[in-house]
A and B are shown apart, each in its own frame.
Chain A
Amino acid sequence: MKRVVVTGIGVTSPLGCDPEGFFANLVAGRSGIRKLDAPWAVNAHAGTVEVDLDVHFPKVRRIGMDRISMLALLAARQAQAASGLAIDDANAERTGLYWGTGMGGAGTLEGAYQDLLVRKAARLKPSTIVSVMTNAATGQIGIEFGIRGPACTYSSACSSSAVAIGEAFRAIRFGVVDRALTGGAEALLTEGVVKAWESLGTLARPDPARPETSCRPFAADRSGFLLAEGAVVLVLEEESMARGRGANILAEISGYGNTNDASHITQPDASGQARAMRLALAEAGVAPQSIDHINAHGTGTKAGDISETNAIRQVFGGHAGRIPISATKALHGHLMGATGALEFVATVLALRNAVAPPTAHLWNPDPECDLDYVPHEARPLARAEWAVSNSFGFGGNNAVLVARRYHL
């Protein structure tokens, strides 16, 4: 079977719009959480992407493009440029696109409903459908970069883009394609979506004095997560081809596990999560005790963090307590369909820089969450060979990716 490597990364995130800036902010413990600047958002905080889309997309280019597609294209341009990969007639049909998103063009959909139901518009904009559909960004990336191989869009809530990366990895590993653009995007900070999340009761209770610290993964005083938006793209290539063209290889992807809990639509299940981790480690051919770092799903919900802690214990046994585990959502927020990809980028960059980002806001440890979560400050990794990134989604899907430092 073929080896699969990462040769380019692009990021539009609450912690910056380039991978190096994103990781530097993460390691420094800076927060990407800001007060939402909207008339309906009285005291709502979220991870927002600070980018002037007008600079990058002239009006004529914006027809049929929701914010989600523009964030995705910006990330794709970065990743393609960083990889130095030219997609042309010779390789376009052997290039795939594997994408993840939770909701697609949520802002356009909500705007259309407001036009129709509030403003009593007689009809909606002709571009509504193509802006809203969950594969909108997939289509736009394919058009801009001339990708003519398989184009698959996965939607499994919080694990969507981890699934996309895993499926892209498999497609290259098994020779379906030679290279892929993969990742995900989300742009759902709209009134209706935020209110719906508030009702579900999984969002963090706002800390009135320090609202940016409200998400506290693995802490005793945790109460949930903060929503965020953004997009992430990775260029994956078959290893010998990447090497052959002199690409700068950032890391290897060596394992992927995907399982379904089949138990409850929101409640996590440690055994399903553990099975996904075991499958990913088995495919990578790595023993649990060789894992040097884990980027946790770590949403900061009461049930979720206990379940993940238990799942890690089940898989890693006595080694579990020795693995530096980072829950980076505390700083960048929960990007939903894009979060798995962003955290996989954090995982790859943790290996490359041999440093585990901090789990922020963990001032009050929870006795039930008793692993090493790298509280407060980033920590150098004594060994940075293998790392795991966990992503678990509503609906019961669990997706786990294994990254390895690249060796010839």
Chain B
Amino acid sequence: MSTLLTVQEMLMAEFDLKIDQVAPGSKLAELGIDSLATLEFLFKLEEKFALDLNSDPTPVETVGDIAAEVDRMLSLKVAETS
């Protein structure tokens, strides 16, 4: 499963959102996900993907930004371990 799909499924489960609300371009603020809710969600992503997103945070505004950030950190992790 792609990172984007996983992020979308987690967003729908965590915040009771519909599939059409979590399109890659959907802005988190417009979904009612404020900075605190974003932080809570990033914690869940860290557990899911075994990452440490806080160590090098990149501002995220959209659903797609979150998936891209996870992919970026995953690639860094692969680079570190290879």
Enumerate chain A interface residues (CB-CB to B < 8 A): 58-61, 63-64, 123, 125-127, 130
Contacts and interface: CB of A to CB of B under 8 A. Distances in A.
Nearest to A59: B16
Given A58-B16, A59-B14, A59-B15, A127 B40 contact: yes
- Nearest 4 pairs between A and B by C-beta? A63-B37, A60-B15, A126-B39, A60-B32
Secondary structure at chain B's binding surface: helix, strand, loop or mixed?
helix
B10 interface: no
Contact of B43 (A58, A125, A130): A125
Secondary structure at chain A's binding surface: helix, strand, loop or mixed?
loop
Contact of A126 (B16, B17, B36): B36
A127 B37 CA distance: 8
B31 interface: yes
B2 to A, nearest CB: 24
A163 to B, nearest CB: 30
Contact of B40 (A58, A61, A126): A126
Contacts of B14: 59
Contacts of A61: 32
B40 A60 contact: no
A15 B28 CA distance: 39
Nearest to B11: A60
A264 to B, nearest CB: 42
A123 B43 contact: yes
B33 interface: yes
Nearest to A122: B47
Contacts of B32: 58, 60-61
A170 B33 CA distance: 39
B11 to A, nearest CB: 10
6 contacts: A59-B15, A63-B37, A63-B40, A64-B37, A123-B43, A127-B40
Contacts of B16: 58-60
Interface in B64-81: none
Contact of B36 (A58, A59, A64, A123): A64
B26 to A, nearest CB: 13
